[in-house]
Structure 1
């Protein structure tokens, strides 16, 4: 991508994210208005930041090609898509290094490119909202037909979601099944954890299915140890109540009584030592903890989200109802939860063997 990397940057000012371009400030006027619009709509700061980085890449491309953001055409957006596909990521292996699928590892992943394209498409939808006579350069595809089973019928059929046109400005991405840890990997990873805090964090992911951001968002008052319930603050500002395992409740209680330092912070998990002792544990701090214990235990796949996948897989193998799984995992759509059904080899094999037995009995 032919850009000046230093021409456009992203910064946070007064809890808001904005793009900066000293040499062409008019280039970032529309992107900044769009980021302000997202903040006014109460999008999470993390989402606004992600969209901001996508718009940084787009504005850097526009800066390098001499384009005006408000005068971009569909052909220009397709050129930006091609530039994203050809961009070389610094610090990765050269063109001779490929993954198992034969793709170069020094290029952006399709999901990363789609994040940029989603930010750009949202910005032009925002411009079209401000001026209905304006024609958006984002090419539209066929309407989406993403419906859950039973959503089109019944007494509440009138409440079904209307299919929205999907943008053709996106890459096809492989849909991989979530990777769960094996029992031996789980035991090895948990055995490497020494502090009660780290055991409680891993337990909340493994036995309650919490995301890492949900673990860090927990306050002390969100944990009902006696009643064994958790109030989880999920993605998109959606709260849910999750039952708390008895042994995990005891581990959290032991952490609160013996390890958690005296602090004014309301966060459940705080830094245990060092200059930031008593301050809320950060995402970077959580990643450091798991990175250290992955190396110590030899479980390379032991990332925080793998523990959540292990929880979902265990529910599927136990035959838990899909709607209950969706509620526990906090998924917005049941299709996301259904992926875990494909990870229940015990039940799949049992059903397959039973069907084959019936076939043999019928044919004999």
Structure 2
């Protein structure tokens, strides 16, 4: 079973053996048969343990005792404790998935979750950058490199933001008598010295540039871009091979600016960060390992903040890429394929974004709006 949090593990251990085995078998099914990510399996397991704990409290001693009234009671209890509509919708989906699997496996006499309704999740329109803002963001590393500065790192939740030195200046470190002031390492790098520091100073902006270019040019997820290997890039056709959710493979094209960034990174940047544990990873972190999605999010947020842009994440660049494709006349099915959405409904939200922009332009420009 995937490793849920401590409270879920405690509830799991307190379940009757038959229910506990059902949870473990369902997690195995999600992981090995459905090829779900560890994060998805952990979310489903957390929901299922909560459901079965509630069922035991209602007097269910065996899985066959689980019925629709128990499922509804569980969701109602979740709502009274303040769960959001999106959380309730996800938990209802978890219950339906488990019920369908348990019925097929012969653990339930009927698929009791098939009739379980759930509140419609409220989907907020994603925040997207304008085309000129997206261009300013992806070009920010080149401008920063020419000035010899690094963008401010985005603080983690709960941390106070660090005070940044003015543009083009170093923090006011006081050197000892006769010593030269130390150079500051770029964002995402570990402290280095001498030639290694100079190499990192050149390599990191090139890495950041290709990261931003690929995220915006292709609209891929941050986990997908960090998972790219050197061999996944087809330079001749200008496409990358991406393995998305559920292990689904797709080919995504990119443009000339991203190709230039890739060429510069592979020639002048990646060799400077290459280490014994780099493997075939395309994008590397400060210590030579594969770039971590958390670090990638900090890089995107840092450059957006430094450029004076709205708060942006890799997923925000994905939203922006999809919206700009549709506004430029791309077919919705083509955008679905590029983004790797299994359902067209997931892609249709971007048409709503475009309609909202059209309404805003209408209200601003039409004399009788």
Normalising by the residue count of structure 1, what TM-score does the alignment of the two structures yield?
A: 0.69
Q: Determine if the alignment matches structure 1 residue 58 to structure 2 residue 62.
A: no
Q: How does 1:125-274 map to 2 (within 5 A)?
A: 125-131=100-106, 134-138=109-113, 140=115, 167-168=116-117, 170-183=118-131, 185-190=133-138, 192-193=140-141, 194=144, 195-260=205-270, 261-263=273-275, 264-272=278-286
Give 2:156's aligned residue.
none
Match of 1:78 among 72, 76, 80: 72
**Whose strand proportion is higher, 1 or 2?**
1
In the alignment, structure 2 segments of 5+ residues that lack a partner are 145-204
Q: Which one is further off, 170-179 or 243-252?
A: 170-179
Q: Which one is further off, 56-65 or 280-289?
A: 56-65
Task: Return the offset for 1:241.
Answer: 1.8
Q: 1:315 to 1:69 in 2, by over 3 A?
A: farther
Task: Return the offset for 1:23.
Answer: 7.3
Task: Return the offset for 1:222.
Answer: 0.7
Q: 1:61 to 1:196 in 2, by over 3 A?
A: farther
Measured on the aligned residues, the alpha-carbon RMSD in Å equals 3.3
| Greater relative contact order structure (CA < 8 Å, 6+ sep) | 2
Whether contact under 8 Å (2:100, 2:111) holds in the other structure is yes
Give 1:317's aligned residue.
327
Match of 1:303 among 308, 313, 316: 313
Question: For 1:43 and 1:258, how far apart are their aligned partners in 2?
Answer: 37
Question: For 1:317 and 1:269, how far apart are their aligned partners in 2?
Answer: 30
Give 1:101's aligned residue.
none
Deviations 1:187-213 (A, max 9, x none): 553455452222212211211111212
In the alignment, structure 1 segments of 5+ residues that lack a partner are 11-18, 88-106, 141-166, 357-364
Moved over 6 A (4+): none
Q: How many pairs are equivalent?
A: 292
SS of residue paired to 1:8: helix
Whether contact under 8 Å (1:7, 1:22) holds in the other structure is no
Q: 1:242 to 1:262 in 2, by over 3 A?
A: same
Q: Which one is further off, 24-33 or 118-127?
A: 24-33
